[in-house]
Chains A and B, each alone.
Chain A
Amino acid sequence: MSATRVSLTDWLRGSAVYRSIVRHGTADTNRNRSLVIFENLFLHVHPVKVREKTLRFSHTYWLGGVTLVSSLVLIATGILLMFYYHPSVPQAYRDMKELNYVVDNGLFLRNLHRWAAHLMVFAAFLHMLRVFYHRAYRPPRQFNWVIGVVLLIVTLFLSYTGYLLPWDQLAFWGVSVGTNMAKEAPLVGEKIRFLLLGGNVVSENALLRFYVLHCVVLPVAFLLFLSVHIWRVRKDGGVQGPPSDTNDPRGEEAP
């Protein structure tokens, strides 16, 4: 029985379809194991080998990981919320009520999205502080620091654009105040506000723009920069923990 099973697995791995997907066959040697990682779009951002030390809580406090996981929660709940939400003035607030009153676990879904968003912003800040105090922004990681700053800005924009979508008083005035602050920017302020709102007041145009930004433009940008960020962690020599751990400025990770 077991002999046939092994040969079945071998046959499967030897088949043309499998080989067309995974070129190197069985990960039987260290080289092949590495190649499987390198050649895979999804895996190649991650290092092939990770030292146990870097997984310790005190090493990074898992702050990047928390941010990443909460962003995944946000994407999952966000997609579900999109099934129930219409970005239009007569419907938007009503859909909040529907989630509250009729949709099974709708309130839970909304609250999960909301608290995950808070957590993500909070964790991203702490992550940044951690990186700063561990001097992990120094060369060769200076570019990834910049990517990280961009990711933080995208995160904040995601958080802000999501704020308008319930279309309640809080949202309306929050966005009114926020865009009025943007207006105070020298020279381009007025233009930025007009561009954001699709007009001069918070109206249905603003709602639609914020919706498209929140659900399409910013998430795509976020995923793009996120992949670069994680890929660069590996390329820059892996996660750098507290600098006192080692004198090697390149960190302790060999690719």
Chain B
Amino acid sequence: MPLRRLFAASSVLFLLVLAISPAKNALRSYRSLQRQYRKLGSSRAHSLKAAQSYQARPVAIRQIWLRDFDNRVDRCETCHLGVADPLMAGAPGPFALHPGTPHTPEAFDRFGCTSCHGGQGLATTQADAHGTAADAGPPMTPPAFIEAGCGRCHLAENVTGAAVLSRGRALIARAGCYACHAVRGQDTFRSEAPPLATLPLKTGGEWLKRWLKDPKSIDPNATMPNFHLTDQAIDELSHFLFAAQVPKELAGLIEAAAAEPPGSSANGKKLVSESRCITCHTVEGKGNGSAPELSKIASTSSRGWLLAFLREPQAFNPRTPMPRYHFSETESRDVVAYLEDEFRDFDAPKGILEPLRVNQSLAENGRKLFRLYGCFSCHDPAGSASEKFGPELDGIGDKRAQSLDFGRRTDLVRTLPAWLAAKLESPRSFADGLKMPSYGFSADDSRAVVTALLALGAQSVPERYRYAPPQKPALLPGGPVGSLIQSYRCLSCHQIGDRGTDVSTAPLTYEGSKVKRDWLVDYLMLSYTLRPILEERMPVLKMPREDATQLADALQNFYVDPAIPADPFAGHPASDADPVEGQRLYVGLGCRGCHILGSSGGYYGPPLTEAGKRLKPGWTYAWLKGPQRWRADVRCPDYGLSDTDALRLTAYLETLQAAAPAAKAASVARGAK
């Protein structure tokens, strides 16, 4: 009967089909890999016993289960069998030992694999685990961006050992991305971009149009991005900006300054070099670059504005990092006269600073453009505090490539890093009507920024995995002292606790325990070079004596490390304070290799010629006992001195009181160059 035969045949066929699944199960690729690993292990093992233990390893799925880390299960070790096995250094294929990082090899069980590398930890096949299969889980982070993994837990801007991530975060902050894009923990971010109220009295229509066309072509340090505006849009925006009402008070200052008689350019030259403007500004590209380029400043800003700004920078822009210099009326005139003479664009057309005659209807269109492009996010941050102009960036690092809009960019690889890099490089290329400007990041900068963006996960990691460096106290007093610190912008260069910037190598957190008051008063009034090797130098702020005294007293009282003894010699026999023995130590330890003393010595460390006048003995003693106590990157070696030796050396340094006048003059002259 044919039907029965058909039934029999189909039954056999069905049985065969049923066998497919168990067969596939038995032939999974990790099984053969584990067998290979057995062979590799026993061939590399140093003893018979070790070889046998490799042979005895069961073929099984291996996993790291982190219950308290999002219930993470990472089965990567099923194939990557040698990650924690020192015998597997340089082993082929998936078996190699994991390179050393701050967390490996000892902390695999705490962090797993996918927390740093991404990918799909649950999977037991390569394509699925690495996220290369179509419709697989999250893809692995490419090696170029691997530090993004660090940033998931390490939330501070600066992450030790993750240079790319740290740079990316710094670039994001400097570029002002947070002004338009909301990111967790950056709610208080405010752009340093200047308010535009005094613009009509500062510059001319021609200059403004050039600036709007491409800010970086005028000032390579410019933080303002290129908005790729059409000539018409530039025209309309210029009319809008020139239609602004200049606040009466500032307008008065500028107009009065413009009417003042010209100063002496020669004296101005001296003042500019003394004040060390290039500690922050650049001149023809030379300098620190954290402030605008000065070489064409006189073709950028009118004389009246420059003068008024130099006298009261913080009245023009409350968030400017520029300190207030105490030039006299004549001195500031001299400085501006020098700038007017030397720092101008000699190729610029004559009328570059001619104010624009405002056309109201163009200005009205310009107002709309100002809103349309989100200019207010940086230039009028008060108006944008409630609502961010751009889309929020939290979770961008976990976006799947399938959910990204690649628009016209069919040329791109369909991955998140490629999309982000293209967004940074040419944000408008994806579709019409996009508004994001371009920042002109170099390839390296772009990689750093993408790394920092990939670190922005959809969910924050559990509390016990989050790491923020311990908070240092940041005591910022109010009242007159507070406003002095504000007005001299100490925090533009120095750190106090966790606040401030890392331009200066001398944090002020414990300054009161470090330097003597009288020296400090003198130094604040006329600062000089402490460390000749550094490019950045303390500007001469021309601080009046009462300000200097008040600041010095405040530093002496507030910024004290209680662990530093006031008198290190107390309780020790008098022989410990023997400066002669100390001098012998000074020579013996080779201190002069780095420190200038008198007329000789290396110039890496600060000169010690007047160490006794400058440093408190308690500080010197504590420093000698462990120079890396305050900053890990201090190069001064820790000699492991005994108490007695440290005290003797301290006593010797205490005797170095008199500054050789010649040395001091020389250092002032060097600074003036």
Contact = CB atoms under 8 A, between A and B. Distances in A.
Interface string B559-573: 000000000000000
A98 B122 contact: yes
A23 B31 CA distance: 57
B77 interface: no
Given A57-B3, A90-B71, A101 B125 contact: yes
Contact of B122 (A90, A97, A104, A107): A97
B386 interface: no
Contacts of A108: 21
Nearest to A104: B25
A105 interface: yes
Nearest to A111: B21
A33 interface: no
Interface string B48-87: 0000000000000100000000010001000000000000
Contacts of B21: 105, 107-108
B21 to A, nearest CB: 4
Interface in B565-591: none
B122 A105 contact: no
Contact of B123 (A57, A97, A104): A97
Nearest to A91: B71
B128 A101 contact: yes
Contact of A101 (B3, B71, B124): B124
A101 B119 CA distance: 14
A21 interface: no
B617 to A, nearest CB: 61
A108 B17 CA distance: 11
A94 B73 CA distance: 10
Interface in B109-162: 120, 122-125, 128, 137
Interface in B21-63: 21-22, 25, 61
B25 A94 contact: no
A104 B23 CA distance: 11
A108 B125 CA distance: 16
A101 B61 CA distance: 10
B450 to A, nearest CB: 26
A209 B124 CA distance: 32
Q: How large is the interface on B (under 10, 10 to 19, 20 to 34, 35 or more residues)?
A: 10 to 19
A102 interface: yes
A101 B29 CA distance: 12
A101 B75 contact: yes
Interface in B1-33: 3, 21-22, 25
Given A57-B3, A90-B71, A101 B22 contact: no
A105 B3 CA distance: 32
Interface in B610-625: none
Nearest to A112: B21
Nearest to A90: B71
Which residue of B22, B25, B61, B137 has the most chain A CB atoms within 10 A of its CB atom? B25
B10 to A, nearest CB: 13
B53 to A, nearest CB: 25
Given A94-B122, A97-B123, A102 B61 contact: yes
A194 B202 CA distance: 64
Nearest to B70: A90
A228 B124 CA distance: 47
Contacts of B128: 101
A116 B92 CA distance: 45
Contacts of A105: 21-22, 25
Contacts of A98: 122
Interface in A78-99: 90, 94, 97-98
B324 to A, nearest CB: 56
A104 B124 CA distance: 12
A101 B123 CA distance: 6
Interface in A43-71: 57
A83 to B, nearest CB: 17
Nearest to A98: B122
B308 to A, nearest CB: 59
Given A57-B3, A90-B71, A101 B122 contact: yes
Contacts of B137: 97
Contacts of B123: 97, 101
Contacts of B75: 101-102
A102 B71 contact: no
Contacts of A97: 120, 122-123, 137
A102 B61 CA distance: 8
Nearest to B122: A97
Contacts of A107: 21
Nearest to B61: A102
Interface string A5-46: 000000000000000000000000000000000000000000
A107 B128 CA distance: 14
A104 B122 CA distance: 15
A57 B3 CA distance: 10
A70 to B, nearest CB: 14
Contacts of A102: 61, 75, 122, 124
Contacts of B22: 104-105
Interface in A89-130: 90, 94, 97-98, 101-102, 104-105, 107-108
Contacts of A94: 122
Interface string B619-663: 000000000000000000000000000000000000000000000
B56 to A, nearest CB: 23
Contacts of B120: 97
Contacts of B122: 94, 97-98, 101-102
B99 to A, nearest CB: 27
A102 to B, nearest CB: 6
A94 B3 CA distance: 45
B169 to A, nearest CB: 31
A192 to B, nearest CB: 31
Contacts of B71: 90
Contacts of A57: 3
A102 B122 CA distance: 8
A108 B23 CA distance: 11
A102 B3 CA distance: 40
Contacts of B25: 104-105
A130 B3 CA distance: 22
Contacts of B124: 101-102
A53 B22 CA distance: 40
A32 B3 CA distance: 34
Highest count of chain B CB atoms <10 Å: which of A101, A105, A108 = A101
A98 B73 CA distance: 10
A108 B21 CA distance: 6
A104 B22 CA distance: 8
B62 to A, nearest CB: 12
A107 to B, nearest CB: 8
Nearest to A108: B21
A90 B128 CA distance: 20
Interface string B239-262: 000000000000000000000000
B645 to A, nearest CB: 61
A47 to B, nearest CB: 23
A209 to B, nearest CB: 24
A104 B21 CA distance: 9
Interface of B: 3, 21-22, 25, 61, 71, 75, 120, 122-125, 128, 137
Given A97-B120, A101-B124, A105-B25, 11 more contacts: A57-B3, A97-B137, A98-B122, A101-B75, A101-B122, A101-B125, A101-B128, A102-B61, A102-B122, A104-B22, A107-B21
16 contacts: A90-B71, A97-B122, A97-B123, A97-B137, A101-B122, A101-B123, A101-B125, A101-B128, A102-B75, A102-B124, A104-B22, A105-B21, A105-B22, A105-B25, A107-B21, A108-B21
Q: 6 smallest A-B Cβ distances: which pairs?
A: A108-B21, A101-B124, A97-B122, A105-B21, A101-B123, A104-B25
